[in-house]
Amino acid sequence: MNQLLILFIAVPLLAFLATLLWQNKSEKAIGKIVRFTKVFNILMTLSFFTWWLINGLEPIGFKVATLYETDRFVFAIQLYYDEITAVFSIVGSLLFFLVATFSKYYMHRDEGYKRFFNTILLFAVAYNFIILAGNFETLFIGWEIKGICSFILIAFYRNRYLPVKNAFKAVTNYRISDVALMLAMWMMHHLTHRNINFSQLEEAKDIAIAANQTSMAIFIVCMIILPATIKSAQFPFTSWLPRAMEGPTASSAIFYGSVSVHIGVFLLLRTHPFWEDMLWAKIAIIVIGATTAIVATLIARVQPTVKTQIAYSSAAQIGLMFIEVAVGFHWLVLIHFAGNAFLRTYQLLVSPSVLNYLVHHQYFHYVLPTQKTVSKLKASFYMLSIKEWNLDSMMFTYLWSPFKWLGKKLQFLESKVFIGMLTIAGLTLTVFGYTSRTSILTIGEVLPVVLMSIALAVILFAFAYRRSALKAWIYLLSAHFFIIAAVLFNTEHINLIEIIFYTSGVILAFSLGYYCLQKIKTVDNDISLNRFHGYIYEQNTTGFLFLVSAMGMLGFPLTAAFIGIDVLFTYVHSNQFVLIILMALCFVFIELSAFRILLRIFFGPHKKQYHPVAYRST
């Protein structure tokens, strides 16, 4: 029976592939596929839960496949089912059905009808990957897919300025959580010297205690708390949540009101056995949750838009869930999650009707508010809350601006001669690093750090570059070569197949992206990054292909590069913090640079006047 766990992933995946075959105008066919999938998902979820309940509520696991295995690394897809999975799967299946049914009518005759349901089905695959994950690797597959689905739906109205801008803001936060989770996997591998399952987290904790490796355990817990905080929009990352409401109301309901925004809570619940005895971790989670609950409540009470109010209210409730997880009230957390998810979904789905009612009520029953004296303290809190405590501007000023400033200082890299020399040098170092690295290893840790620093400098240049998109794209490829070379010179032995995994995915993605940009360049010879071009109007297929190439360039679970990146991280030793920080920053800004090119060239208002242009404000 445990083998049937694979159906939770296979059914929505098959439905996603099936809907790709239909055109946008085939609403009935797409709607039937989606509704059948959701009904089947509910029946399957309830049936499996009943069987699990009858058989004693014992956690069960199932190993689907081993994608790659050596004597020091195993990449396996492992599924796991317990009471946490049961609650999240039941709530998720019911909410997916409600939102899909609502969306059939809400998205009727929308030009993105098919695109919407494609993304919703793919998100269902990602959600089931996460809640059924038996190890970090499986969870990370769903984690990455969910982030991309969220990005696509925030930028659903891709011909407008604000949805595109806010989609990029959201993906910047997502990428930090992605890399933080990768770092947790990296350090866990060095702690246990194997790829462990979630059911073995207590063993990992005992290993850390026995080997007196408290610093490694502390690092792992920090890298678990950080992505949980970001994904659940907790302080100080709360401001991305209302920005994500730019998508359709139905996607806002399923993503940012109900299931997606609670994934951080799920991560804390799943990893609780590892950090349950760490008092500092509990205090940190409680402080984060309490701060979010207070600040988000104050902001929600004064916001003029209904979606923003609901977003901050949901973040405040999740802050309370963080506190409940930390103090060990796990069944209360699960009940709280279910209640909050259903409530926020209902509020978001009826929000258009509520707005219509309130406008009607205000028109016929308007009462002039009475003037009241307000203390300076209340006025201060009111102004802070209206400005959302300046969380958005603080994140930009202190987190992203320094890197953008540094990228602008590297504009001397722009030379056409230099870009060719740099690409050739990176490729040469990669080949030389594999064939002759033992003769260079005497330099120690200096050379890998230098090469990784060069890679980061090149990526930051591409991140801040505002001219040719083709040139920025080539620089990202050059950076990948320097990353591989740095890892090669950092280890005495590495399997050739692992390098092939990484480079094959990156080169395929680069080639596809280069073809797309070259095709766009032939339109009017303008692919500069200093404005939005909106070529998606006329080059829809090319835009989709470039989206695929951008995902491949960052190691999305689409090519073998996804496995290659995980393997490369294991070749950085646990005491090489400078190297791992540089490598983490490289993978953060590679995604941001690639998606920046995607958004600037294909999304946003079209630059030609014969296309309708949406106002900046929505």
Per-residue model confidence (pLDDT) at position 442 = 47
Counted domains in the chain: 2
DSSP at 538: T
Q: What average pLDDT does this structure show over 554-568?
A: 85
| 325 and 416, same domain (yes or no) | no
| 453 and 335, same domain (yes or no) | no
Provide the CB-side half-sphere exposure for 318 (13 A, CA): 34
Q: What average pLDDT does this structure show over 314-324?
A: 94
Q: Rounded to two decimals, what is the model's pTM?
A: 0.92
| 492 and 585, same domain (yes or no) | yes
Q: Has residue 393 been placed in a domain?
A: no
Q: What is the average pLDDT score of the chain?
A: 87
Q: What is the pLDDT of residues 386-399, one digit of tens each?
A: 888 888 888 888 88
CB 284: neighbour CB atoms within 10 A? 18
Give the pLDDT band (50/70/90) at residue 62. confident
Q: Has residue 353 been placed in a domain?
A: yes
Q: Which residue has the higher pLDDT, 61 or 429?
A: 61
Q: Has residue 402 been placed in a domain?
A: no
Cα(350)–Cα(133) distance, integer angstroms? 33
Per-residue model confidence (pLDDT) at position 339 = 93
Q: Which residues fall within 8 angstroms of residue 359, CB to CB, at 6 or more apart?
A: none
Per-residue model confidence (pLDDT) at position 86 = 92
In order, the DSSP letters of 246-266 are GS-HHHHIIIIIISGGGHHHH
In order, the DSSP letters of 56-70 are TS--EEEEEEEEEE-
Q: Has residue 196 been placed in a domain?
A: yes
Preceding omega of 242 cis (within 30 degrees of 0): no
Q: Strand (E) positions, 163-302?
A: none
Q: What average pLDDT does this structure show over 201-208?
A: 88
Cα(299)–Cα(457) distance, integer angstroms? 38
Lowest mean pLDDT among 322-331, 456-465, 536-545: 536-545
In the chain, the percentage of residues whose pLDDT exceeds 70 is: 96
Structure tokens at 533: 């071009």
Q: Domain end: 332, 359, 386, which one?
A: 359
Is the pLDDT at 139 greater than 80, yes or no? Answer: yes
| 147 and 39, same domain (yes or no) | yes
Q: Has residue 285 been placed in a domain?
A: yes
Q: What is the pLDDT of residues 471-483, one digit of tens each?
A: 899 999 989 988 9
| 426 and 311, same domain (yes or no) | no
Q: Has residue 367 been placed in a domain?
A: no
Q: What average pLDDT does this structure show over 39-44?
A: 90
| 254 and 349, same domain (yes or no) | yes
Burial of 187 (C-beta count, 10 Å sphere; 0-12/13-18/19+): buried
Q: What is the pLDDT of residues 499-553, one digit of tens each?
A: 888 888 999 999 999 999 999 998 888 888 888 888 888 888 899 999 999 999 8
Host H or E run for residue 77: strand 74-81
| 344 and 441, same domain (yes or no) | no
| 330 and 413, same domain (yes or no) | no
Selection from 586, 602, 558 nearest residue 148 by Cα: 558
**Boundaries of domain holding 16:** 2-359
Q: What is the pLDDT of residues 258-299, one digit of tens each?
A: 888 999 999 999 999 999 989 999 999 999 999 999 999 999
Q: What average pLDDT does this structure show over 40-59?
A: 89
Place of tokens 């590069």: 561
Is the pLDDT at 226 greater than 70, yes or no? Answer: yes
Per-residue model confidence (pLDDT) at position 438 = 54
Q: What average pLDDT does this structure show over 554-573?
A: 85
| 419 and 500, same domain (yes or no) | yes
Q: Has residue 403 been placed in a domain?
A: no
Cα(75)–Cα(64) distance, integer angstroms? 11
Give the pLDDT band (50/70/90) at residue 67. confident
| 279 and 151, same domain (yes or no) | yes
Q: Has residue 560 been placed in a domain?
A: yes
| 330 and 416, same domain (yes or no) | no
Structure tokens at 45: 């979820």
Per-residue model confidence (pLDDT) at position 443 = 54
Selection from 184, 171, 309, 291 nearest residue 231 by Cα: 171
| 339 and 421, same domain (yes or no) | no
Q: Which residue has the higher pLDDT, 380 or 352?
A: 380
Per-residue CA distances from 166 to 49, 210, 213, 402, 476 (Å): 38, 46, 41, 20, 23
Per-residue model confidence (pLDDT) at position 496 = 83
Per-residue model confidence (pLDDT) at position 610 = 65
